Structure 1
Amino acid sequence: MKRIFLALAMFGCIFAANAQENPTTGDYFDGLTRPLTFNRMIPPYALEVTFSKTVHVIFPSAIRYVDLGSADLLAAKADGTENVLRVKAALRDFSRESNLAVITEDGAYYSFNVKYADEPVKLSVEMADFIHDGEAVNRPNNAMEIYMRELGSESPLLVKLIMQSIYKNDKREIKHIGSKRFGIQYLLKGIYSHNGLLYFHLQLKNSSNVPFDVDHITFKIVDKKVAKRTAIQEQVVWPLRAHNNMTLIGGKKNERTVFTLPKFTIPDDKHLVIELYEKEGGRHQTFTVENADLVRAKVIDKLKVK
């Protein structure tokens, strides 16, 4: 047994001597590994936090993911909001710099290097949208190449641009679908399709003097005819995204919204029912969409945002 220990000790000495003569260079696989260069890096923002004050960071889209580099930080979405993150120090005067990463619904990734400061200079920070930092050759600081499960193979950035384009162009492709009651007119202006997703362009016209407070909007596929004593079969289609999703339409005002929905078709014995409910009111609106209208959705092949 003593000989074994002596042999192991000798082997350790030889290994240590070889390690000193041939120190590691970090070059794995004999130079076949490509190093990460700075042009592949998303530059982090500098953020200061403190123990006795809260720093709020406002993002241009809803927050989907937050990761803290250490237990020295505390972060959570502000109550009642989706795009405001509150950050503060978990203990006073932590010495080690930490980091923070955020992914938003539009596919943007934000990186922060965080350090402690007794009096942070910036307590309220508004992050920019997907814009380069002024140099055409530089990547944006919040590069949008992150995909969301519910959007499948479609880029969240492209979905956002499509909704903006539909809203900006404001064309009425459909002229026979809508409802009008109690001084409220609810119209389906167009149905668009791109890469497995559908886009519904809706408009609400309030010709009354009383504001219309939106409670909720539903998209559901239901039977056209329901026999007595037969349960109604409903399939709710949940919107994936919304652009300019207004909740209050003032008197004598018009507002438009673009919804992104997953691709679906409607059987012959069913139709799509779109319902708009007024909060604490009775001016509800409803209309139906047939499969013939759905399959004629306009395919988007060009974008015009500006």
Structure 2
Amino acid sequence: MITLKNILTVLLFVGLFFKTFGQQSLEKGRVEPYRLEVTYNKTCHLIFPVAIRYTDLGSNLLIAGKAEDAQNVLRIKAAVKDFAEETNFSVITEDGQFYSFNVIYNADPYTLSYDLQKMKNDTDREEVHNVQFEELGFNPPSLTEGILKTIYQQNRRYVRHIAARSYGIQSLLKGIYVHNGKFYLHLEMKNRSNVPFLVDFCTYKIVDKQVAKRTVSQERQLVPLREYPGLEVVSDNSNAGNVILLDQFTITDQQVLRIEVFERNGARNQVLEIENSDLVAAKPVSEMKINLKR
């Protein structure tokens, strides 16, 4: 016979079950925060392994911002003197890593600068908290970063017919790779002159091969999703390369992907043209051994 006592006992058991196991499931996914001391008259600097993408402050007790010309350095300090309560902030970096910090006020902190990569290495902190970025689709940012670095470090060349040369500068496409709806283009520039090549900007366009007179040219600009490493200068008598990440696409036989590299205050601009036959022959990343070490 079902009695009120039996019903209350069952409800109590169910309540305890969800309370106990619900807390356990959340605890397993807990992001362990770093502890940080800040003050009003001095600035604290945090050096992250890669560029910072997003910062969220827990309260107006803190002020923070990326350092100028250093996208992986965060400046943070107290906005109010001698605040008593603990506050927090979070950071997401370009490789999809999530960092959490609990912050307290200290009028005279012992340390003002921290290297997050060194801290993780020294403490054997193995947790990986990946954040998904919309522009990368289903690709984890850490995997994307690993692919970019692996292609760059292996430095292999299997495309040998796409190059440009002018005034001692040579540009070439070393390889095209494809993975999960993304293209990875491996480029290299060689400077055989005594004058450094300063990169002003690069463009990536899908254009018609030949445009007849009185015909409107069709042109579509592509925006790189990632670049590793950043290419700003090719020193005299040296080489420099990088890997560009683009959304996957195809073109017609009457079109090309035109990559243009413009020299700052110069005329040694470089142009590479890639046809659809080159794109569809891209090497799958699955054939490579990706280095995911941080």
Match of 1:202 in 2: 187
Is the contact made by 1:218 and 1:274 (CA closer than 8 Å) also made in structure 2? yes
- Letter of the 1:139 partner, please give it: E
Is the contact made by 1:218 and 1:275 (CA closer than 8 Å) also made in structure 2? yes
Question: How far apart, in 1, do the equivalents of 2:19 and 2:63 lie?
Answer: 42
Residues 40, 80 of structure 1: alpha-carbon distance in 2 compared, 3 angstrom cutoff: same
Question: How far apart, in 2, do the equivalents of 1:253 and 1:62 lie?
Answer: 26
1:295 aligns with 2:250: no
Question: How far apart, in 2, do the equivalents of 1:64 and 1:165 lie?
Answer: 22
Is the contact made by 1:42 and 1:139 (CA closer than 8 Å) also made in structure 2? no
* Secondary structure of the corresponding residue to residue 83 of structure 1: strand
Residues 219-257 of structure 1, C-alpha deviation per residue, up to 9 Å, x if partnerless?
110011212233322111111111122201111000110
Residues 85-138 of structure 1, C-alpha deviation per residue, up to 9 Å, x if partnerless?
111111100000111110111100011111111112222222218966655xx6
Of 231, 250, 253, 1:265 maps to 250
Superposition TM-score, scaled by structure 2 size: 0.88
Is the contact made by 1:108 and 1:130 (CA closer than 8 Å) also made in structure 2? no
Percentage identity across paired residues of the two chains:
45
Residues 167, 32 of structure 1: alpha-carbon distance in 2 compared, 3 angstrom cutoff: closer
The residue correspondences of 1:47-196 to structure 2 (distance < 5 A) are 47-128=36-117, 135=124, 139-140=126-127, 143-196=128-181
Q: Which runs of 5+ in 1 are unaligned?
A: 1-22
Question: How far apart, in 1, do the equivalents of 2:242 and 2:131 lie?
Answer: 25
Question: How far apart, in 1, do the equivalents of 2:257 and 2:284 lie?
Answer: 20
Match of 1:284 in 2: 269
Residues 169, 50 of structure 1: alpha-carbon distance in 2 compared, 3 angstrom cutoff: same
Residues 64, 119 of structure 1: alpha-carbon distance in 2 compared, 3 angstrom cutoff: same
Question: How far apart, in 2, do the equivalents of 1:72 and 1:134 lie?
Answer: 29
Q: By how many angstroms is 1:32 displaced?
A: 6.2
Residues 27, 76 of structure 1: alpha-carbon distance in 2 compared, 3 angstrom cutoff: farther
Match of 1:253 in 2: 238
Match of 2:5 in 1: none
Q: By how many angstroms is 1:34 displaced?
A: 5.0
Match of 1:9 in 2: none
Is the contact made by 1:27 and 1:33 (CA closer than 8 Å) also made in structure 2? no
Question: How far apart, in 1, do the equivalents of 2:147 and 2:72 lie?
Answer: 21
Residues 32, 114 of structure 1: alpha-carbon distance in 2 compared, 3 angstrom cutoff: closer
Residues 198, 58 of structure 1: alpha-carbon distance in 2 compared, 3 angstrom cutoff: same
C-alpha RMSD of matched pairs (Å): 2.4
Residues 27-56 of structure 1, C-alpha deviation per residue, up to 9 Å, x if partnerless?
585766352465432221111111111112
Is the contact made by 1:74 and 1:88 (CA closer than 8 Å) also made in structure 2? yes
Q: Which runs of 5+ in 2 are unaligned?
A: 1-11
Residues 168, 30 of structure 1: alpha-carbon distance in 2 compared, 3 angstrom cutoff: closer
Greater gyration radius: 1
Q: By how many angstroms is 1:173 displaced?
A: 1.0
Question: How far apart, in 1, do the equivalents of 2:42 and 2:64 lie?
Answer: 13
Q: By how many angstroms is 1:277 displaced?
A: 0.6
